[in-house]
Structure 1
């Protein structure tokens, strides 16, 4: 009895009009898909890195504004200390009070005019709904920067006056509170900046790693092509070798057949000659 025929698929190498193929070799398409995904990730991370740098520049713009506000508020506190003393002459008191009011207006102007790409930053627009910075190559990878209002009303110094001694004494505490708010905001922004810088450093490392992987994949693609080329070369050589062998065998068989035919003809002719010379009746 015959055994059951195996149904196991055997790799088939075929010569086609375009070249050759092997049913179980799909390396090119797999490697290409992986390579494209990695390349897309690298490009996405590069764009995210650009976003991060923009976010850092935005934070630095705010920090410069807060540094100015802090310096102005510090000067206002010094004026309040001077105005709290009764030893100050009246004409100096009026001059210092005018300077104090001018510094209030300066803080208000800084809070209104500090902008980044035409976006006012420290006027309270982004206190609740922060500025979104997309920091990743994929969806939902965001960091929100919540920026407090830094105008004179938010700092509670809108109605502060140093015209009188007792007012000036109260102004010292109010300026302390304002300076604390500014310092807290500066610290918060430094934290944001450190966060963004660490994220960007991580991106740069990831990009370098992905680029190394991409180079390895390119090397794998080259090796796959070399392997396929060798398979094709070996297959073609084997086929040509087989054709040469077949031609040689055919030639030998033909020659042997011709030889046999010649011998047969010679034998027949010899017999015919004998028959003619010695006829049999």
Structure 2
């Protein structure tokens, strides 16, 4: 036994402080739901976890980009559907003009066709999605070689889809001879065959444009599903690294609580050791 340094009590106190530290860390993990709350908790796993978090957020933003892209394609297809219906009416009038019609009737038919052509140009020129025009690009002089809009669909370099930008104004809807829908005139009955070629070429071009946008939409929707699955898998991996195992931590907390209480009881006993020495000394004669 020692009077100046009560080694038994100091040793119990050291373990008491150690258990308090462990208990505080356990409470922090339980209250935050995360077992990595600072770099010191697990330096190696912290780097892995932060990398996963950045990739998850990037994938989630890429998925939003894809959803915006799908919305843009859907809006574009709606405008093209309107143009398609108008072209069908123009062909109907063109065939009608090839029947037994007098010059006055042909002028009336041509007048309606002119109005329909203006409707096509107005629809195409005024359509945009968030300021982006996909149907009237002045830089496109040949719809077989459109310009492209790069749309990011992933979290890595080159994860993008090229969305074509066409020009489907009546001036650019042409047949194999270079005759445009804009200049089509049904008042001349001898040009019926030529006019039918023009309108058929215009319908074919528009159908081709719509099919390309439809294929891109299917690709974007498939990419969105893939990103959603990848993001879920990464979240699961990040959860295993960072999230607290509540059952384990509660068991740890219960253990440290018992050790904490037992340490207090032992310190009360060990603090009486010097008094025991005094009692021994008192009995000396």
> Same-fold call, TM > 0.5?
yes
1:98 aligns with 2:111: yes
1:131 aligns with 2:149: yes
Per the alignment, residue 168 of structure 2 pairs with 150
The CA distance in 2 between the partners of 1:251 and 1:139, in whole Å, is 75
The CA distance in 2 between the partners of 1:219 and 1:54, in whole Å, is 32
Residues 217/224 of structure 1: CA separation in 2 closer, same or farther (3 Å cut): farther
The CA RMSD over aligned residues, in Å, is 3.7
Q: CA deviation at 1:126?
A: 7.4
Give the alignment partner of residue 72 of structure 1, picking from 79, 83, 86.
86
State which structure, 1 or 2, has the greater radius of gyration over its C-alpha atoms.
Answer: 1
The CA distance in 1 between the partners of 2:276 and 2:231, in whole Å, is 67
1:54 aligns with 2:72: no
Residues 122/65 of structure 1: CA separation in 2 closer, same or farther (3 Å cut): same
Answer whether contact 2:103 2:187 (CA < 8 A) is retained: no
Per the alignment, residue 57 of structure 2 pairs with 43
The CA distance in 1 between the partners of 2:264 and 2:97, in whole Å, is 108
The CA distance in 2 between the partners of 1:52 and 1:199, in whole Å, is 8
Give the alignment partner of residue 32 of structure 1, picking from 46, 53, 57.
46
Matched residue of 2:137: which SS? Answer: coil
Residues 122/57 of structure 1: CA separation in 2 closer, same or farther (3 Å cut): same
**Structure 1 outlier segments of 4+, above 4 Å:** 125-128, 219-259
TM-score, normalization: structure 1?
0.70
Answer whether contact 1:126 1:148 (CA < 8 A) is retained: no
Per the alignment, residue 224 of structure 2 pairs with 200
1:211 aligns with 2:235: yes
Per the alignment, residue 279 of structure 1 pairs with none
The CA distance in 1 between the partners of 2:152 and 2:204, in whole Å, is 30
Over residues 16-61 of structure 1, what are the superposed CA-to-partner deviations in whole Å (9 max), with x where a residue is unaligned? Answer: 8x947xxxxx762223322222222222122111111111111111
Answer whether contact 1:80 1:169 (CA < 8 A) is retained: no
The CA distance in 1 between the partners of 2:133 and 2:214, in whole Å, is 19
TM-score, normalization: structure 2?
0.69
Q: CA deviation at 1:236?
A: 8.7
Runs of 5+ unmatched residues, structure 2: 1-14, 23-39, 141-145, 175-180
Matched residue of 1:118: which SS? Answer: coil
Answer whether contact 1:84 1:169 (CA < 8 A) is retained: no
Residues 66/77 of structure 1: CA separation in 2 closer, same or farther (3 Å cut): same
The CA distance in 2 between the partners of 1:60 and 1:239, in whole Å, is 70
Report which structure shows greater RCO (CA 8 Å, sep ≥6). 2
